[in-house]
Chains A and B, each alone.
Chain A
Amino acid sequence: MGSRSLTNLCAVVFFALGVLAISLRHQSRQAVHVAETDSLWKVTYRYQLESGGDANIASYVDIGLPRETPFAKFANEPKITFPIELKAEELGPFESGTQVLRVTATHPGKYPLTAVFDMALSPEVEGWSPAMTKESLSASDEARYTKDEDLLPKSSPAVQREVRRLPRGDGTTDSQRLELLFEFCRTDLREAENDPLADQVPNVLADKKATPLGRARTFVSLCRAAGMPARLVVGFNLQQDRSASPHVWSEVYSGNRWIPFDPEYGYSRRMPSTFFPVRHGREEGEVWVVPPSSAMQGVMAQYTIERMAAPESLLTREVRHPRQILDLTRLPLEMHQAMSLILLLPFGAVITAIFRNIVGLKTFGTFAPALLAMSFIYANWSTGIAILGVVLTAGFASRRFLERLRLLMVPRLSIVLTIIILCIMFVVSVLDYSGLTPSPQAVLLPMVILTTLTERYYVTSEEDGHAFAMKLSFGTLIVAAMCYAVLSWRAVGNWILAYPEAHFITIAVFMVIGRYTGYRLSELIRFRDFVKGQEA
């Protein structure tokens, strides 16, 4: 295998490795994140059923079962317990999506029924949006959800009066009318506590006060009267509650989907992830319904919602395991800045490689610009500039003087360094005197790099002339500035600390640049005489 195809292979392998490692780590991070935000809930229905005295008429009740949402899913099969005198069968799902448990009493009497649902709540579901839940509305459904019902009297004079106040005509939209109705139900109706009358739409509109159920019914009635299909939704909010009552909100069909509106809590267009529905479309606004043909005499319902303990795996995550070595974010926080800066250095090298091999810019030393940029990140701007000025003047002046002493290189360089150190210390003292104390590493790093750069500049300008030395300085400054821009980018620094395996991809990039045999940009200028006219 030729070295070129071997390099290509390696580059592809490293790239794939990087992508794989990043995605694996991302997935495991996501799993931990989900485990942290997830919760398990236990929803319990406790029913007391009293069947009618006449054994010839069937005595049954339809109890709505919780429905899964993108966020709330069943963790286990529901556990339903009841005495043998009761029969239970699941019906549905109906067109509205509702599923019910039809419980039939075979003998007259009082019977308990308990249903326990374990729900897993994941509030952070990726890739789901309400816009995805589009569904069509059949003609019969449309008729059903716009009809006049006893408890949703869309044709009552009070409802019609409210709807007539809505703006009509060109330039007004259903969305605007919907929002006005929602605002009316939200804000224009006062609270009524446990007043059965305030459940009824005509009373609500007359007294301007409503229970949560009355509020939702009013909204649905008004929407229907305004020509928009609407329905009630009964469900629960997953929060610890020893005597929970079902919550009622409403849904309006618009833009090919059912859009939730909760005039009680004010949610619209998207219910919080903790809410799950039980039934849709019934005017009663209850979890259970006794159909008219049933002889069931009494239904007592109690609901409890309890939070369950977090899974053991989440609680034992901090147990020491060699796997944790791979996680750099586990390191003490005060190490993070230095670590991420070091991890960013390869990106500085990428910039250097691009400028040298593709642009063709010459610099002093290979990694000097990147190191210079790094040292300037430790220093803040004012100290950085102060140190730059001091090092350049002191370094150049002392270098010029030392040239006459004819010293060997290392001792000469050391004298320059010593003089620069002395100057910088007094500059620090001056800064401190005027109330601006720089941190020690702000002083240390730039000094050493700048000292060697000063020497290089001096030798280059002696050997190859000032013009060439200036050219190199220019290139060094450009590359250093680019490196500074990348290295000082905190978001990238935090990211690379979380995903250091991204440097597999960096290595792949280096391999590609390393086999780049095209012209450098500088050569397009250097060889321009090749297109000079014939007279050349």
Chain B
Amino acid sequence: MMALAFDVVLAALLILAALAAVAGRGLFRAVIFFIVYGVLVALAWARLGAVDVALAEAAIGAGLTGVLLLAAHGRLRREGLEADPGAGGQGFAAIGGAGVALALGWAWFALPEPATATRAALDSALPDAGVGNPVTAVLLNFRSFDTLLESIVLLAALVALWMLARDGAWGERLGLPQHARPGGVLASFGRVLPPLGLLFGAFLVWSGADDNGGAFQGGTVLAASLLLAMMAGLYLPPRIGERLWQSALVLGPVVFIACGLVGALVWGGFLVLPPAYAKGVILAIETGLTISIAATLALLVIGPPEQAHNSGGAA
């Protein structure tokens, strides 16, 4: 009874938060309600027992996407471009959103259920996967091609963001100069939290093999620690051409593709993993992916290079 009441309240709050994000006035309000909505969705996933998805939704859906939207809003406000879309624009967005929802709903009911993707098939294949967490087994073994493409999409997003840099700013440090007072509250916080974040991020990746966690969740925690150190003024954001950072950005996809090629040459197919080596290979890919995800997400939030570093004189 209590559980049902909780679920009904949660579902009602979800719909209200979604409505407030879409129908409310003002960009800032929409962003805030989008974050609230993400937190509620994470709760809903946790209620459904999908702890991995809940972790990913809280870290990426609510946390990281929320920060990106807040940063975009701040940029629009700085440049004086924050304008309400007006009734026409909102109507257009409503029709577009409803169209996407309808199309997705139609696809969900119209497409045949794939014959192989059943829980029984997963359970019988799991002993050969090399890891005990079925979600990790699907992401990095049975359907690893999808994950490979995802890791490359992330990189493409960062390159697209860098395309927004002005010509003169290309060689500058990424993002706007940070104004944290040395020895202030943020600087202290930036010293206290990153070690804990490093520990927790690495734990999430390691625990993802047999339990809840994984490269995306761990990478997001690491990215947050990195961002905090940058925002606290303890670590200067890199420039685009820095070798160490470039290597970190591509490490995950490179390790992933290399493992796939080894599979193609030795084990009989691209991304094929024989059970005897599966755990080692998956851990190698996850480690590489975590480093790349952490670097990419952190640099996505920091933003494109800005000329302000010259005139501001903070760096």
Say whether A associates with B.
Answer: no
Interface residues of A (CB under 8 A from B): none
